[in-house]
Structure 1
Amino acid sequence: MQPDPDIQTVSKGYNCKLCDVKIPNEASLEAHMKGKKHQHLCRLRTKRKAQEENSVYVSGFKPDTSTSKLAEYFQQFGPVSEVIMDKERSLYAIVEFAESVSTEAALTQLQHRLDGLKLRVKPRERKEFKLASKGKHDRTKPHISLEKLNHELCLTSSVNEQMQKMVEIFQLSENDSKARELLVQLLQEVFIEFLPGCQIVPFGSSVNTFGSHSCDLDLVLDLENTKAFQNRTRKSEETAENQSEDGQSEDSILSDIDLATASPAELLELLAAILRKCTPGVHKVQTVSSARLPVVKFSHRQLNLQGDITINNRLAVRNTRFLQLCSGLDSRVRPLVYTVRFWAKQKQIAGNPSGGGPLLNNYALTLLVLFYLQTVSPPVLPSVEQLKNMACEEEECVLDGWDCTFPSQPISVPPSKNTDDLCTLLFGFFTYFSKFDFPGSVVSLRAGRVLPITDFLSRDDELSDTAESSDTTRQNPTIRPKLGPVNILDPFELHHNVAGNLTERTHKNLRREFCEAEKYCRSLQYQHKSSKGKSWGLVKLLAPHTEGPSGSHDAIEKVPEITVPFRADILSPSFRTELSSAGEAFRVLWFKKVCSTLEVVFNDILKCAPSEHVEISQDQTSAKEDTKDEEVNNNQSLDISCHQPIAHSGIKRPLAMEEGPSSSSSPQGKRMRLEPSADYPEVAHWNWTQIHPVWAGRRKIRRVLLKTSDETSKPEGGCSSIESRVTQYIIENDSNPKEKVQFRVDAAVRGSDECTKAVLTFKATDDPAGHFQDFFHFLDSFLPKMVETLLAKSE
C-alpha cells in the first residue's frame, strides 16, 4: 500500500488523522480508506481547497454594499460563483470565482475601486482541513450544569417532584418560544414575496410541548396554494390578462420553475437561494438532499437558532398534532418524556449530534414512552385506532394515503383510570423494556400492542393486513418497513421504522441501560429521599454513562468471535415468506439456513477440508458419547442437537436436562434437531483444516481475475463465483503447501432477549506455524458478507 499522509502508524495499528479514528490492522486500514466516510471527507477536503484557491478576500467597501454589487464588479475578471459577506464582526467579503485564472487576474490588478473607495483584495486565508469535533457542535447540552441540576433535584421531597422539576428546567421558556415565533414570521414574510400563497408551518420539538432550550426549529414549507396560484397565473398569461408592459410575467421566480414538475433537489436549491440572498440574519445555509426527507439547514445569527425546512411534509405536522394531543390527555406524559429523554442522552444511547447516526432520536424515544403508556394496565393513553374511533366526521384526515384521524381536542377522550404516580410509571417503563424482545417484535402505537416481526417477513406483494388494522387507509401497502434490531412504527406512516437507523451495538447498549435502570429503580435509594444528604432518586439514575472497570476483564476473556446478524432485507422473497409462516420458530429456521450456507463457504468457496480429529470440550460431557458417534460417522457434517451447548459469553445458561423438555428420548434426535426452545439456543459444530493460505493476496488476485471476466466488480465476499475462482487460483499456485491450520467452529443462535444473530466462535486446534490469527482476521470481514450474499440467492 502506498504511504498516505493521512495515515499515521502507531504502536497498535494505525491512526487516520483525517477521520480521527484508530484502525487495528492493515486489512481494516484498506477497508477504511475505501469506506464512504473517508472518501467523502477526501472529496470535501479537495472541494474546500479548490474553493480557497478560487477565492479572494475583499474589504474596504461601504456598509450598504450588496453582494450583487460586489459580484458585478468582480465579473470583469471572470465568472463569480458566490459572494459571502459578513458585516457583523468585520467589514469583509469572500468572492469565489468559477476558475482559478480569474482569481489570479483579480490579485494581479494593483488597484480596485468601488463607489469611490479603494478596495483591499488579497488571497483568501488557507486553513487546514479538520473534521469538526462532535463536542463543538453538540447542542444537546442543557443550559444548566449537571452539578446545579443535581442540586435542584436533591432539594425536592420525592421522585414525583423531581420529574416535575425536569420539565421546569428543560422546557422552552417564554423567550425561547417568542424567538421561534419571530423567526417563523420573518421567513413567512420573505417566502411569500417569492412564492405567493405559501405557508411556513413549524413542527417537531419547538411546538409539540416536548421541546428544550437547545432544540432546532423544524419547519415545513407548504407549496400547495402556490402551485394553484402558478396554474392560475399561467392560464391568465395565455389570455394576456396578467402581463407587464414588456410582455414578461410579473413573478420572476415562478416564471423560471414549474412547481408541479420540479424535482425535490430543484425546490431545495430554490429554497436555499432565497435563504442565502434575501433573508436577514440567516447564514450557514446547506441543502441535504440525501436525507430520507430532503431538507435545507440554516442558522440565524441574532436569535442563535438552527433550523431545518422540508417541503410539503404534512405528515410531520400531523405527527406534531398527535404528540400535542397525547401531552394534553394526561399531565404525567410530559414529565415522563423529559426524564427519559435526558436519561437516554446521559447514557449515550440517544441524541445524534450531527443529525444522522446510529442512536435513538427524540421522536423515537417519545413514541416508546407513549407506547408504554398505551400498554400499562390500566392504560394511560388509548391506541391510535381507539383515538380514530373517538373522532367526529369533521376531524377525519387522510394525508398521502395514510389515515391520520384523531380528535383535535383532549376533551373528546375519556380520562384514564390509571392512578399510578410518576415514580411508579418510570420504574414500570424501565422494567417493561428491560425484558422487551426488540428484534422479534414491532412496536405499533396504532394498534397499541406488540406485533410479531414475522408479520413483516412475507413477500412484498403478499403483505398481510393483519399487521395493522384492516380498515386503515394505506398508501403503498406493499412497502415493508426497514427492519432492524429495534422496530418502532410511525403511528401513521406505517412503512416507516423510526428506529431503523439503530445498529446492533446501539441495541445492545440500549438493552444494557434499560436493565441497569430497572435494577436501580428497585432500590430504596431511588424510592426514598436520603436523610444523610446522599444522592437519591433521579440523581444517580441520570448520571452520565461511564466505562466501568469490567472492560479490561472482558478483554482478557475475549475469544475469536464473528457475528452474522439477521437481516430481513437481504433475504430472498420466498425465504422471507417461509420465515413468516414459521411464526415464533423463525429464528431456528433462519439459523438452519445460515449453517447450511456456512458449510458452502468453508467447503466449496474456501476449500477447507474436514479435520480427522475432533476435540470434545470438557463442558459437554453429557453429550460426549452422542457427539463422538456422529463425528466418527461424518466429520464434515453439521452437528446440531439439543444437548448442552458450549458456553458462550452473553448467552443465557441453558436449563439442565432434568429442568427442560426431554430431548434425548429418541436416538434419532441426535442430528439436525431444530425444534425451537426458549430455554437453550440451538448449536452447531464443525472441525475444518485449511492447507493453503487462501487469505494471502486475495484482493490483488480478484482484481486480476475480474479484468479477464465478464463479472462486475463487487466488494470482497459479494460474489460467490469469483471468490471460488480466487481460492482455486491460490491453491493452484501454492506449489509446496507445508503448513496447515486446523480449527473448530461453534455456532449458536441468539435471540429473544437480544438481537437475532448467529454467533460463530473460533478455536485453533492445530496451528504450528501461527497462521490462524491471520486467517481469522480475513474471515472477520469476509465471512458475514459471503453468508449474506448466499442467503440473498437462496430459495
Structure 2
Amino acid sequence: MFVVCDICQVNISTAQEYDRHMCGKRHQARLKSYEERKKQSNCSVFVKGFPPGTKDIELENYFSYFGKVKHVFFDKQHNKVKGRSFAIIEYEAPNSAQIALSYKSHVLNSEHLIVRPRDFKELQTTPYFPWQKEKERQQLPWSNYEEPNQIGAFGQQRQQFNMGRGHFGNKGRGQYGNMGPGQYGNMGPGQYGNMGPRQYGNVGQGQYGNMGQAQYGNMQQGQYGNMGDPYGEDMGFGNQGYMSFYGEGEEQTQEEIAKRKKDIEKQKIQKLQKERAKKEEEEQLPITLEELNQYMQQKMVIGISNQMNTMIELLQVTPEELQQRYTICKTLEDALSPFFPGVAINQFGSSVNGFGIRGCDMDVYLDLSKIGIPCRSAKIQLPYHRDIRSVKKNAGPFNQEEVDSMSNYDKVKLISRILIEHAPSCHNTLTVPSNRCPLIRFQHEVSGIKCDLSVNNKLALQNTRLLQTYSLFDQRVKPLIYAVRYWAKVKGLAGNPKAGNQLSNYALTWMVLYYLMNTKPSLVPTVEYLASLCGNDRTWIDCWDCSFVAAQMIPSSKNIQTTEELLHGFFSYYGSFDFRASCICVRTGLIIPVAKMVLDKTMKVGVVNIQDPFVLNHNITLNVNDKMASKISQELKIAETKSKTWFDVKFAETKSITDIFNDIVPEGLNLDAVNKTVDASGLVLGKYQFLVPMKTQNMTPIKLRELEEEGDIYLGWCKRMVKFIYGLIERVLMFDCEIRTTNLPEEFHKKTRTYDHSKKVKLATTGVKRGPDSTDEVTNAKKSKTEENKVIEDKKPSANSENTEEQKNKNPQCQVDARKEDSEVPMETSGAEGKVPEGPVDPFDAEIDFSKNEIFLDMDVLVFLRIWAERKKIGNKLKERGFQESIELEQTISETLYYDYLKPSRRPILEFRLIIRSDVKPGMASSLLVEAISRPGMKEYDAVFHFVKKFVLKAVEKWF
C-alpha cells in the first residue's frame, strides 16, 4: 500500500521512501510555505461590499480600530465600473482578526460590509493512508498502550492488524502508531510520545519531557530542568541558566524556545540529507579500477586504442541485462493494458542509445496517444482515485478522450497506484512531481534495476534515437564516449545527479560529440546538418524541429585520427575551455557567448552551459555550480597532462588507459603547476594574485544592455569593475591610494579623502552621514579621546635631513616619498647624478608592460590602520541598531574603527603596490587580474592581502 502526502501531493509506498521524502528539501520547503500561509490566513479577514472607488487607506484606517493592520490586498481583477470586488485585511496578530470577526456590524461610507474569515484549505502535515483521516481516529486509553518497536515508519512488526492499518498498526499513523502523530505514538506529537511535543514526551515540549521545553525538561530552562539548574549545575547554560522562578538569571522567551527547537530540527534534517547524499555517491562502478587494470594485464591488451575497445566489452550492458529490461517492459504492459488498452512501452536513454553502462537506470516512456479497443468486456476497479479530479469513473478501461482530458500528473499518480496494486515486482514506487515531466520511480524486485517512467517525453525518445544514430555512424565514437564517461565517474564529475551538481551522462555525451564536431576535419556532422538532409520531410515535437536522417544516409567522415589521439584531444580541448563565458551549441557546433544568450533570452544560463540539440531553451547543465565547474576544469587539465605522455617515446612500453583514471602521478608531471587555479586565458596565478571574472549569468539583461550601449560589453564591464574595486580600497577600507599610471579618466579613480599634514582624514564624499546621534556615550567618549592622535604630515623630506623646508621646495630632486621613508624597510636613494645604483631590480618599482591590457590601473596603497580588526563584532552591533547588509554598512564599520575604536599609526603599517589589469577576449569574456607587490619585511602584508582578496571578491559577488 501507499500513503499520501498532502503537502507535496505524492504517494509513498515504502519506509525508505518515507524517510527520504520527509527529510527532503522539497517537502521541508513546501511544509514551511504551508505553515506560513496558514499563519497568514489566521491573521486575515475577508471583506466584501464596500463602495466602488474605496481606497486601501480607507479600509486600513477603519480596520485599524481592531488591531494593527499589516497589509491590505485588493482582488487582482479590476472592473472600471464596479471597482474592486473584495479585499483581504491582514493583521499582525491573530487576535486582532478574531476581534474584527466578532464585531457584527461593519459600516464604511454608508455601506454595510461583509466580513468573514479568510478561506484556507487545511492539509495534513503528515502522510496518511487514503482512507484514513486524522479527525476520524479514535482516542484510546493509556492502559491499552503497548511499547512500540522503533523500526521506522513502516516497520516489519505488526501489533494488531496484518498491514498496520488500524489504530494500533505499526505502519499506521494512528493513536498508538510507531511513527504516527497519535496520542501515545513513539515518534508522534501525542500526549506521551517519546519525541512528541506533548506533556510527557522524551524529546517533546511536554511537562516532563527529557528534552522538552516545559516545566521539568532535562535540556531546557524549566523549573527543574538540568540545563537551567537553580542549584548551580553549569551544563551549557551554566549560571546564566537560572530561572526567574528563583529571582535570578534570564528567562527564555517562547520565541527563543521555538527558535532553538527549530534550529535543532533543521540540524537533524541537514544531517540526514548529508548521509543520504553520501550514500548515493557510494554507488559501485560496473568494474573497479583495480579490476580493470588486472584484466588489461591478464589479457595483455597493448595500446590505448585497443584498451578503449576492451573497455566497451567490460562496461556495456550485457545481453542478460537487456533481457531483464525486456521483462520489465512486459510486466508494465500486462499491468497497464487492462486500464489503457494499446499502451506502448518504449525504452529510451542510456540503456538503448548505444552508450549504456551495466547497471544504469532504465528510462521508460508510456505512449498513451493511441488507446485502442479493450480486449475484455469486464471492468477493472481503479485503485484509490478520489484525489484525482480529472478521473470521473471508478473502473477501467479508459477511452482516448478520457486519457487526453487527464493532466500528466494525474496520469502519473493513477499509473503509480496501478503498479502498486497490479505489479508486485515493482518495489519502492514513488511519484516525482514536475511541471515539465512528472516521473514514476521504482525498482524491479528480481533484477534490482531502477526505472524512471514518464508519460509525456517524446522529445527524450527522439534524443535517444539521435544518439543511437551517432553511435552507429563511426566506430570511434563509442569507445571514446565510454572512456570519457568512465573517467568522469571515477573522478566524481558525472553520473546520475538527481538534483545534484554533477554532470549528467547525457550532458557528458554531448560534450564529447561537440568536440568531435570541431575536430579538423570534423569526425561527426552537426545536428543542423542532419536535419538539412531530411529536406521537407521534417519531424516536429512540441513546436521543435527534431529532424535527422539515419546513419546510413550520412556521408562518411574524412577524419583519420585514432581513438588515442581523439581522447587526448578531448582533454586538451576542454582543458582550456572557458565554460563560464561560452555556451556550447551542439545543434550548430558553434560557441555562443553567454552574454548573447542572456540578451536574447534564449535560455537560462549557469556556470556551465550546454544547449539541448532540439529544445533550444533548455540548458542541460544548469545544475552544475561553481565548485563543480572548478573541479571539472582541474581534472580536465590533469588528464590532458597525463595523456600527453602517451606520445612520448620513453613511455611507449608503460602507457595505459588507466593512467588517466588513477591518482598516480606520471614521471615528469608537474602537479604544482597543474593544481594552481587557471583562468580563461590559461594564466597561472601567483601567490599574491587573484582573478575577478565576469559572471554573465549573474547579470541582468538590463545591465548588459547598458554595457552594450557603451560600445563594448566586456570593455565596459572592465571599466566599471575597476572603478568599483578602487572605491572599495580607497573609500570603504579607507586606504591611502596614490595612482602611478592608468589609462582611465579621473572619474574612475577619484579620491574621496584627502590626507592633510596635521589633521585627520577629511571626508569628501561618504555613503553614510555621521552625526552626534550615530554613536552612544561610550563611543563618543572614545572618539574624543582618539581625536588627539593626528595623522602625520604627508610631506616629502630630502635625502639630507639638514635641508630646510625652503630648500626642499627649491630642490624637488632631493625629495623622497615620506611613505617609503617611514616604512620598516630601508630605502635605496639615488646617487648624486640621480641614477639608480646597480643591482637587482626591485619588483616594487619595476616597470610593467601594459600594452597587452585594454584597461589598467597601477597604484601605491598605504595602510595606517588595522581596518580588518574587530570588523565582524562592530558589524553585528550596527546590525542590531537597524543597519542592513550593504556596502554602506561596510563603510560605516571602517569609519567607526577609524574614529571611535582604534587610532591610526603615525607611520604606515605597511605599503604595497596594487595593479589591476584587464584580460578581454573580444566577443566572448573578460576578467580582471588583481596583483599585489610588497617589499620584503612587511610583517602584516600576507594577512592584509588575503583580507583584501576576500573582501573584494565578496563585495563583487554581492553588490556589483
Interval containing the TM-score (normalised by the shorter chain): 0.5 to 0.7
Larger mean CA deviation between 367-376 and 739-748 belongs to 739-748
Kept in 2, the 8 Å contact 1:741–1:772? The answer is no
Deviations 1:523-544 (A, max 9, x none): 2367x5x3xxxx3342324434
Q: Which residue of 1 aligns with 2:548?
A: 406
CA 1:192/1:56 → structure 2, altered by over 3 Å: closer, same or farther? closer
CA 1:261/1:726 → structure 2, altered by over 3 Å: closer, same or farther? farther
Q: Which residue of 2 aligns with 1:758?
A: 928
Q: CA deviation at 1:559?
A: 3.5
Q: CA deviation at 1:516?
A: 1.2
2:458 pairs with 1:303: no
Which residues of 2 match residues 128-139 of structure 1 at below 5 A?
131-132=274-275, 136-138=279-281
Kept in 1, the 8 Å contact 2:413–2:431? The answer is yes
The code of the aligned residue for 1:71 comes to: R
Which residues of 2 match residues 5-154 of structure 1 at below 5 A?
57=155, 59=157, 67=163, 70-72=164-166, 74=168, 79-80=173-174, 96-99=179-182, 101-103=184-186, 131-132=274-275, 136-138=279-281, 141-154=284-297
Q: CA deviation at 1:175?
A: 0.8
Q: Which residue of 2 aligns with 1:498?
A: 620
CA 1:684/1:102 → structure 2, altered by over 3 Å: closer, same or farther? same
Of residues 582, 596, 613 in structure 2, which corresponds to 1:455? 596
Distance 2:674 2:398 in 1: 66
Distance 2:411 2:715 in 1: 49
Of residues 559, 564, 567 in structure 1, which corresponds to 2:692? 564
Kept in 2, the 8 Å contact 1:694–1:731? The answer is no
Q: Which residue of 2 aligns with 1:340?
A: 484
Greater RCO between the two (CA within 8 Å, min separation 6)?
Answer: 1
The code of the aligned residue for 2:861 comes to: N
The code of the aligned residue for 2:566 comes to: L
Distance 1:352 1:130 in 2: 19
Q: Which residue of 1 aligns with 2:352?
A: 207
Q: Which residue of 2 aligns with 1:249?
A: 393
Distance 2:150 2:951 in 1: 41
Which residues of 2 match residues 483-494 of structure 1 at below 5 A?
483-484=606-607, 486-494=608-616
The code of the aligned residue for 1:368 comes to: M
2:536 pairs with 1:390: no
Kept in 1, the 8 Å contact 2:355–2:482? The answer is yes
Kept in 1, the 8 Å contact 2:154–2:170? The answer is no
Of residues 498, 508, 517 in structure 2, which corresponds to 1:365? 508
The code of the aligned residue for 1:758 comes to: L
CA 1:704/1:311 → structure 2, altered by over 3 Å: closer, same or farther? farther
Deviations 1:551-583 (A, max 9, x none): 69989x973665433221322424424666899
Kept in 1, the 8 Å contact 2:919–2:928? The answer is yes
Distance 2:702 2:730 in 1: 25
Q: CA deviation at 1:482?
A: 0.8
Kept in 2, the 8 Å contact 1:482–1:496? The answer is no
Q: Which residue of 2 aligns with 1:596?
A: 723
Q: Name the count of aligned residue pairs.
A: 615
Q: CA deviation at 1:603?
A: 4.0
Kept in 1, the 8 Å contact 2:494–2:508? The answer is no
2:456 pairs with 1:315: no
Q: TM-score, normalised by structure 1?
A: 0.63
Of residues 873, 884, 888 in structure 2, which corresponds to 1:697? 873
CA 1:764/1:202 → structure 2, altered by over 3 Å: closer, same or farther? farther
Q: Which residue of 1 aligns with 2:80?
A: none
Q: CA deviation at 1:165?
A: 1.1
Deviations 1:7-57 (A, max 9, x none): xxxxxxxxxxxxxxxxxxxxxxxxxxxxx99x99x99xx999x99698584
2:361 pairs with 1:216: yes
2:301 pairs with 1:161: no
Q: Which residue of 2 aligns with 1:416?
A: 557
CA 1:506/1:216 → structure 2, altered by over 3 Å: closer, same or farther? same
The code of the aligned residue for 2:872 comes to: A
Distance 2:916 2:947 in 1: 18
RMSD: 5.5
CA 1:52/1:291 → structure 2, altered by over 3 Å: closer, same or farther? farther
**Structure with greater helix share of residues:** 1
Kept in 2, the 8 Å contact 1:442–1:451? The answer is yes
Deviations 1:727-778 (A, max 9, x none): 55666653756698656444344576999543444578899996983x7676
CA 1:169/1:726 → structure 2, altered by over 3 Å: closer, same or farther? same
CA 1:416/1:674 → structure 2, altered by over 3 Å: closer, same or farther? same
Distance 2:317 2:659 in 1: 25
Kept in 2, the 8 Å contact 1:562–1:759? The answer is yes
2:326 pairs with 1:181: yes
Distance 1:375 1:762 in 2: 39
Q: CA deviation at 1:143?
A: 3.4
2:708 pairs with 1:610: no
The code of the aligned residue for 2:534 comes to: A
2:453 pairs with 1:327: no
CA 1:428/1:767 → structure 2, altered by over 3 Å: closer, same or farther? closer
Q: Which runs of 5+ in 1 are unaligned?
A: 1-35, 83-93, 110-125, 230-246, 464-477, 615-624, 638-669
Of residues 655, 672, 675 in structure 2, which corresponds to 1:536? 655
Distance 2:596 2:557 in 1: 31
Secondary structure of residue in 2 paired with 1:219: strand
Kept in 1, the 8 Å contact 2:742–2:858? The answer is no
Larger Rg: 2
Which residues of 2 match residues 458-469 of structure 1 at below 5 A?
459=599, 463=600
CA 1:169/1:724 → structure 2, altered by over 3 Å: closer, same or farther? same
CA 1:603/1:537 → structure 2, altered by over 3 Å: closer, same or farther? same
Secondary structure of residue in 2 paired with 1:201: strand
Q: CA deviation at 1:280?
A: 1.8
Secondary structure of residue in 2 paired with 1:59: coil
CA 1:180/1:61 → structure 2, altered by over 3 Å: closer, same or farther? farther
2:956 pairs with 1:787: yes
Deviations 1:171-230 (A, max 9, x none): 10001111222223323443455666655432211111100113111234455568x99x
CA 1:291/1:51 → structure 2, altered by over 3 Å: closer, same or farther? farther
Kept in 2, the 8 Å contact 1:442–1:489? The answer is yes
CA 1:142/1:57 → structure 2, altered by over 3 Å: closer, same or farther? closer
Q: CA deviation at 1:354?
A: 5.2
Secondary structure of residue in 2 paired with 1:451: strand
Deviations 1:322-358 (A, max 9, x none): 1011111122211111122223333x26224653444
Deviations 1:590-641 (A, max 9, x none): 222211122233344x2524247x8xxxxxxxxxx8689x99x98959xxxx
Secondary structure of residue in 2 paired with 1:308: strand
Secondary structure of residue in 2 paired with 1:687: strand
Kept in 2, the 8 Å contact 1:743–1:762? The answer is no
Of residues 680, 700, 704 in structure 2, which corresponds to 1:576? 704
CA 1:200/1:553 → structure 2, altered by over 3 Å: closer, same or farther? closer
CA 1:607/1:200 → structure 2, altered by over 3 Å: closer, same or farther? same
Deviations 1:633-656 (A, max 9, x none): 98959xxxxxxxxxxxxxxxxxxx
2:896 pairs with 1:734: no
